[in-house]
């Protein structure tokens, strides 16, 4: 403020020159003498260098005491996770169940959707091939929906029990219940048992062939979490177990697997899973290097896009062959094949593999757009060939 007033005074004084300046000179000398007598030099505060604003204490200190400032070398604080539906709707007295719901990933149903769609596709294709009445696909679609929720939750528990220490080193997964310590390994083991019992209950609703086929996938489910420690291609093992529904859905409806149709569908779905999970893995590629986790995102690096494009092309090729093998109609090719191909092409063309939010957006679109789109073409073909 004082320098600003001084500059204003000089500006105003500079407007009068000549006689006006001479008339004011005695007053200026008198003012100077008076100022020297009125303000002793010892009363002036000692000069000090200007400090940056960030270092200046707050004029309104916190009621709890002075504000602690992090040192330049300290890590940035971790921002709190946004509230979920569980935080909004689960009452306080039931808050103890929330860590277990997070352990099942029920706050992020995308995994259950991606597990569900291969089975839904296979159920619908088999219903068309066998000319099954409408209640058959509707019943198995509902049953597989429950099974996808239960078995995806069980798979997440197994995965988190394997990876608790690694998850604690990755920003995106550090808040998972086992990594954060909100659920113990003993409690998780008991909870896993309950989920496996529920999964067995769903599986028991199928025919004997399908029960044996479903049980055959358990070794893949158990070994998958270990694969990211020993190979850069754990996505392949994930695809082999995650797309098992492409075989199981057919056998549930038809009593056994028609390998001429369901076999190519399964192979194509595995390629599809490897592709979209590579996009998912690009979210954590920096943290994975530190944690020692391997993935196709690290193996392929800058070559990921053309490889993902090739895998998606193989998947659409498999869908096209499946339609040919079972005599599908034009609705199947127009919606499932061409529609699915258009959406997957959009994914590859627009995904930014260095952007975590964009990778997540493209990854989840497989559950919310690609899966339903492909199924819609299959169901439309079923209705046109069997019902109408």
Domains of the chain, first to last: 99-387 (1.10.357.140)
d(CA 385, CA 388): 7
pLDDT for 82: 66
CA atoms within 13 A on the CB side of 92: 0
pTM listed for this prediction: 0.75
Q: Report H helices in 283-370.
A: 285-291, 296-300, 304-326, 330-331, 340-350, 356-365
Q: Please give the pLDDT value at position 379.
A: 98
Asked if 166 and 176 count as a contact pair (C-beta separation under 8 A), the reply is: no
Res 94: pLDDT: 84
Give the contacts of 156 (CB within 8 A, at least 6 positions apart). Answer: 103, 104, 105, 111
Q: Which long-range contacts (CB under 8 A, 24 or more apart) does 136-144 make?
A: 136/253, 137/253, 137/379, 137/382, 140/249, 140/252, 140/253, 143/202, 143/205, 143/252, 144/116, 144/119, 144/120, 144/245, 144/249, 144/252
pLDDT (tens, 9 = 90+) of the chain, 388 residues, equals 434 333 334 443 344 434 333 333 433 343 444 334 444 443 444 444 433 433 333 333 333 333 334 343 333 344 455 677 787 778 888 888 888 998 998 888 999 999 999 999 999 999 999 999 999 999 999 999 999 999 889 888 988 888 888 788 777 788 888 888 889 999 999 999 999 999 889 989 999 999 999 989 888 888 888 898 899 999 999 999 999 999 999 999 999 999 999 999 999 999 999 999 999 999 989 888 887 889 999 999 999 999 999 999 999 999 999 999 999 999 999 999 999 999 999 999 999 999 999 999 999 999 999 999 999 999 999 999 999 8
| C-alpha separations of 242 from 92, 151, 335 in Å | 36, 10, 24
**Cβ neighbours of residue 176 under 8 Å, at least 6 residues apart?**
102, 103, 160, 164, 167
* Cα–Cα distance list, 255 to 28, 90, 142, 210, 362 (Å): 111, 42, 18, 7, 36
C-alpha dihedral, 165 to 198 to 102 to 176, nearest 10° = 0
If you ran DSSP here, which 8-state letter would residue 92 be given? G
């Amino acid at each position: 403020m004082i320098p600003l007033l001084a500059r204003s005074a000089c500006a105003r004084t500079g407007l009068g020159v000549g006689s006006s300046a001479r008339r004011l000179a005695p007053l200026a000398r008198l003012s100077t003498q008076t100022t020297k007598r009125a303000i002793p030099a010892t009363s002036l505060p000692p000069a000090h260098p200007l400090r940056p604003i960030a270092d200046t204490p707050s004029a309104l200190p916190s009621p709890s005491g002075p504000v602690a400032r992090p040192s330049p070398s300290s890590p940035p604080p971790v921002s709190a996770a946004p509230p979920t539906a569980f935080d909004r709707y689960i009452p306080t007295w039931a808050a103890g169940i929330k860590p277990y719901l997070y352990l099942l990933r029920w706050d992020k149903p995308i995994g259950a959707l991606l597990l569900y769609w291969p089975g839904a596709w296979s159920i619908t294709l088999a219903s068309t091939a066998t000319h099954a009445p409408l209640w058959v696909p509707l019943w198995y679609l509902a049953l597989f929906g429950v099974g996808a929720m239960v078995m995806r939750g069980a798979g997440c528990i197994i995965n988190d029990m394997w990876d608790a220490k690694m998850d604690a080193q990755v920003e995106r997964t550090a808040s998972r219940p086992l990594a954060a310590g909100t659920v113990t390994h003993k409690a998780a083991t008991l909870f896993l048992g309950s989920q496996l019992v529920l999964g067995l209950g769903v599986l028991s609703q199928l025919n004997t062939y399908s029960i044996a086929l479903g049980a055959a996938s358990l070794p893949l489910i158990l070994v998958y979490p270990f694969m990211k420690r020993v190979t850069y291609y754990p996505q392949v093992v994930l695809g082999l177990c995650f797309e098992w529904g492409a075989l199981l859905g057919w056998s549930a409806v038809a009593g056994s697997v028609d390998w001429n149709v369901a076999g190519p569908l399964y192979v194509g779905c595995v390629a599809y899973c490897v592709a979209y999970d590579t996009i998912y893995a690009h979210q954590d590629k920096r943290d994975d290097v530190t944690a020692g986790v391997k993935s196709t995102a690290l193996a392929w690096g800058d070559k990921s896009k053309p490889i993902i494009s090739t895998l998606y092309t193989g998947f659409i090729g498999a869908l096209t062959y499946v339609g040919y093998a079972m005599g599908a109609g034009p609705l199947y090719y127009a919606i499932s094949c061409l529609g699915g191909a258009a959406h997957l092409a959009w994914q590859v063309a627009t995904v930014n593999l260095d952007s975590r939010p964009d990778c997540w957006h493209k990854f989840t679109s497989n559950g919310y757009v690609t899966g339903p789109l492909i199924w819609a073409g299959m169901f439309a073909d079923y209705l046109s060939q069997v019902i109408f």
